[in-house]
Amino acid sequence: MIHQLRIYEIFPSNKDAFHDRFDCHAARIMRGYGFNILAMWETKTEKRLEFVYLLAWPDDATRLAQWAAFMADEEWKAIKYYTAKQYGNLVGEIEDRILTPTAYSPALPVV
């Protein structure tokens, strides 16, 4: 099992549009490609507002293939285009982290 942490910089001026797009479109399309979204959060640092979510993958090959398929999805490309045209950029910097458990980490439940 691989866990992937995604951190998106989002903007207060259009955060509602971001959340609508992720909730109504991105998450739905991702699930269609086998994405297992475990949890989603919004957090704020001194420098920026962030949307954070955690994914679980059976292996790295699946993760890479499913991300490639999602990014090539025509519906997703059209949604990104139209929402950017209407609201401007909804996402700034994106951080992507593969989480490797330590030897002393408690086991996570399998979902």
Mean pLDDT of 75-86: 97
| Nearest by Cα to 7 from 67, 61, 48 | 48
**Rounded mean pLDDT of 72-81?**
98
By CB atoms closer than 10 A (0-12, 13-18, 19+), residue 18 is: buried
Contact 110, 3 (CB under 8 A): no
Task: Find the CATH number of the domain harbouring 78.
Answer: 3.30.70.100
Residue 73 belongs to a domain: yes
**Within-domain flag for 104:** no
Question: Quick one: angle between helices 60-72 and 74-87, nearest 10?
Answer: 60
In the predicted model, is pLDDT for residue 39 greater than 80? yes
Percent of the chain with pLDDT over 90: 91
Amino acid at 47: K
Average pLDDT, the chain: 95
**Contact yes or no for 56/1 (Cβ under 8 A):** yes
Residue 111's pLDDT is what?
61
Count of Cβ atoms closer than 10 Å to residue 27 Cβ: 15
The reply to whether 107 falls in a domain is no
The domain in which residue 57 lies consists of 2-98
Q: Name the token pair of 33.
A: 């490609």
Average of per-residue pLDDT across 8-33: 97
Amino acid at 7: I
Question: Domains in the chain: how many in total?
Answer: 1
Coil, helix or strand for 71?
helix
